[in-house]
């Protein structure tokens, strides 16, 4: 169906329902869902007219429209009116409105994920409503589309059989099962031994029984038909012999290399390990999950929407990606929608990635609210961006690596933040700005960097971009704050001559003055170079001009004298707080170690910071106050 035919179909059904409603409103008849239905037609038409929906999704949209069953109402209109069978006519009309509830939910889901025909990953934090979303969508998929939901909660118990159910009855059970939403948010009275919600656990354990019955009965049915056709002389193909359970076994054996899954002619499933055989119910949890997931996907109808809640559940990382790669390849006709908070898994999917910010639904299912946002292209790497978006906390970018002193300190002092360590000061600045340009996120991002040799003007400018520094030169100097040293000594029951420690730090500072000034000059030169246009130029003349401007900005003598005067003033006034604000020397901890007779001061200071609220309060006084 092309665009014009699709629009004609929408207009035809929309016009009929409008005329129908206008007529019955005059008689005071109210069906209760008129506005929702007519708004659905308007939104469908607008989405097609504005080319929001690709042609690859036209077929899915046609299925949704036909699910409304307006055509059935239109076909019977004159006939029922002639018979004055108003009750029958009203029943047909109400059926359209009931269907509109399910159709609208599926349509607006497709709209929320961008009307994409490719696979989708919805990343959501714990508590964002992923499972509620999956359960809510489960019934409507069965009513409006070929769709299944593979739940996160899996209590999988392998059945054994005295006799295999018939193909017809097994598939009737399986089809019926797809419409059941399992709600594990229940409780029981602990003081009553028999009060556990047995029916719920039974429903969960039935999942695998119903699946296995469908798979085995289909296998037997296929083989019987194959043999019958062969005996009757019909043309037969080997593909007709291969059933879905054969596909399941093939995938299972590919992923579990040290064991072999077998199914005999009677439909008995067994595991072969070396010379031993044992029944399938002795599979591990992960092996059962693989069987269950592959079976569900293989039994999905053609062109299904397959929604997978927490695809990583119970699966080893080494198998997880291989499994879904295989299933996506085998079911290219289907569209997979993954609901996950596993960033590593999400980053491996070639898919349209979206952020499930929140989802809520009323008990009746009538009122629901979802916030699904695109993950925009950003200079922040995709995996890192998904990790941040998957957290509900504010974000703090800092310098350092996983496990670095920076990160450990900030995780203790900024416990309401997601701490993200980055390689360099430049990355902290750039990522903070990039993240804050993203709309509709939970919270803003902040950056925190070493002061190093930055000028007041540079630091003030960074504050306007949510990037802050602290009142010491570098992260290690936080443990040189006077009150922190005294508190640490008391915590360790050590005698502390704080004046002697400060004097030694002053002496080291004075001794290193020339080297500190040189480092400052190098920083200023590099900063000016990075801010200049020296690296730009279309020809030699322009390059020379840019270089000349850069050289004129370099005032080594002036900067040297200014910095020397500043350091001399600190030495002259014995201003300890300014020393640790200006002095870059990661070896100063050795002075405290010698004075207190200890080793590994930084590690022990970190232990003190973890243990004592007063220690954290001291350091917060020299850190920026982030909202």
Q: What is the CA radius of gyration of the chain?
A: 34
**Strand locations in 274-332, DSSP E?**
276-279, 305-309
* pLDDT given for residue 250 in this prediction: 96
pLDDT of 83 = 46
DSSP for 175-194? HHHTTPPP-------TT-TT
DSSP class per residue in 558-611: HHHHHHHHHHHHHHHHT-HHHHHHH---TTTHHHHHHHHT-S-HHHHHHHHHHH
CA distance 132 to 152: 11
Quote the tokens at residue 68: 């409304």
What distance in Å separates the CA atoms of residue 160 and residue 216, rounded to the nearest whole number? 12
Q: In 3D, which of 310, 286, 292 has the Cα closest to residue 134?
A: 310
Class (C level, CATH) for 120-182+197-352: alpha beta
Q: Report the alpha-carbon distance of residue 21 to residue 15 in Å, rounded.
A: 10
pLDDT (0 to 100) of residue 375: 76
pTM (global) more than 0.85: no
pLDDT of amino acid 60? 84
Residue 193 is predicted with a pLDDT of 56
Alpha carbon distance, N-terminus to C-terminus of the chain: 54
Find all residues with CB under 8 Å of 551, minimum gap 6, and list them. Answer: none
Distance in angstroms (rounded) separating the CA atoms of residues 585 and 89: 86
pLDDT by 10-residue block (mean), the chain, 627 residues: 91 88 67 77 92 87 86 70 58 78 80 83 75 68 71 79 82 74 51 53 72 90 80 74 91 94 86 89 91 95 88 88 96 91 86 78 56 73 75 85 88 91 90 82 84 88 93 92 96 93 95 94 88 78 86 91 94 94 93 94 95 94 87
Determine which helix (DSSP H) or strand (DSSP E) holds 364, and give its type and residue range.
none
Report domain extents, the chain: 3-112, 120-182+197-352, 391-620
């Amino acid at each position: 169906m092309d665009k014009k035919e699709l629009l004609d179909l929408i207009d035809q059904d929309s016009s009929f329902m409008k005329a129908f409603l206008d007529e019955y409103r005059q008689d005071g008849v109210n069906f209760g869902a008129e506005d929702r239905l007519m708004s659905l037609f308007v939104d469908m038409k607008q989405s097609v007219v504005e080319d929001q929906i690709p042609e690859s999704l036209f077929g899915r949209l046609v299925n949704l429209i036909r699910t409304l069953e307006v055509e059935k109402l239109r076909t019977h209109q004159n006939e029922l009116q002639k018979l004055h069978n108003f009750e029958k006519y009203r029943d047909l009309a109400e059926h359209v409105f009931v269907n509109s509830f399910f159709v609208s939910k599926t349509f607006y889901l497709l709209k929320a994920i961008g009307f994409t025909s490719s696979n989708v990953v919805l990343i959501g934090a714990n508590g964002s409503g992923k499972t509620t979303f999956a359960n809510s969508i489960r019934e409507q998929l069965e009513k409006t589309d070929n769709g299944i939901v593979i739940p996160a909660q899996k209590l999988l118990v392998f059945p054994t059989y005295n006799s295999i159910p018939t193909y017809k009855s097994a598939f009737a059970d399986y089809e019926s099962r797809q419409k059941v939403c399992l709600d594990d948010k229940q409780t029981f009275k602990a003081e009553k031994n028999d009060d556990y919600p047995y029916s719920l656990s039974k429903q969960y354990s039935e999942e695998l029984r119903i699946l296995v019955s469908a798979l085995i009965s289909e296998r037997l049915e296929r083989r019987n038909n194959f043999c019958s056709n062969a005996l009757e002389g019909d043309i037969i193909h080997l593909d007709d012999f291969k059933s879905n359970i054969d596909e399941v076994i093939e995938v299972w054996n590919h992923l579990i290399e040290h064991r072999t899954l077998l199914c005999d002619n009677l439909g008995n499933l067994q595991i072969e390990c070396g010379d031993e055989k044992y029944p399938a119910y002795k599979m591990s949890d992960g092996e059962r999950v693989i069987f269950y997931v592959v079976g569900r996907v293989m039994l999905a109808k053609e062109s299904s929407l397959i929604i997978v809640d927490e695809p990583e559940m119970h699966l080893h990382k080494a198998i997880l990606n291989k499994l879904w790669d295989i299933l996506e390849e085998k079911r290219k006709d289907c569209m997979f929608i993954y609901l996950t908070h596993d960033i590593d898994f999400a980053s491996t999917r070639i898919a349209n990635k979206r952020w499930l910010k929140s989802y809520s639904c009323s008990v009746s299912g009538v009122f629901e609210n979802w916030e699904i946002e695109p993950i925009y292209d950003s200079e922040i790497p995709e995996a890192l961006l998904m990790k941040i978006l998957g957290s509900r906390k504010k974000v703090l970018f800092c310098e350092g690596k996983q496990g670095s002193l920076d990160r450990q300190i900030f995780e203790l002092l900024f416990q309401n933040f997601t701490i993200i360590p980055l390689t360099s000061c430049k990355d902290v600045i750039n990522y903070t700005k990039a993240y804050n340009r993203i709309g509709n996120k939970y919270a803003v991002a902040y950056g925190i960097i070493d002061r190093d040799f930055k000028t007041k003007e540079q630091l003030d400018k960074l504050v306007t971009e949510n990037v802050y520094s602290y009142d010491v030169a570098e992260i290690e100097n936080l443990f040189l704050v006077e009150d922190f040293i005294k508190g640490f000594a008391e915590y360790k029951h050590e005698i502390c001559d704080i004046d002697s420690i400060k004097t030694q730090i002053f002496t080291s500072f004075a001794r290193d003055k020339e080297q500190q000034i040189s480092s400052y000059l190098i920083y200023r030169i590099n900063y000016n170079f990075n801010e200049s246009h020296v690296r730009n130029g279309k020809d030699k003349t322009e390059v020379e001009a840019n270089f000349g401007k850069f050289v004129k900005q370099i005032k080594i003598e002036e900067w040297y004298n200014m910095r020397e005067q500043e350091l001399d003033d600190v030495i002259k006034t014995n201003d300890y707080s300014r020393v640790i604000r200006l002095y870059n020397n990661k070896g100063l901890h050795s002075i405290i170690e010698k004075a207190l007779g200890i080793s590994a001061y930084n590690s022990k200071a970190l232990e003190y910071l973890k243990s004592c609220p007063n220690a954290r309060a001291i350091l917060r006084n020299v850190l920026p106050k982030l909202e």
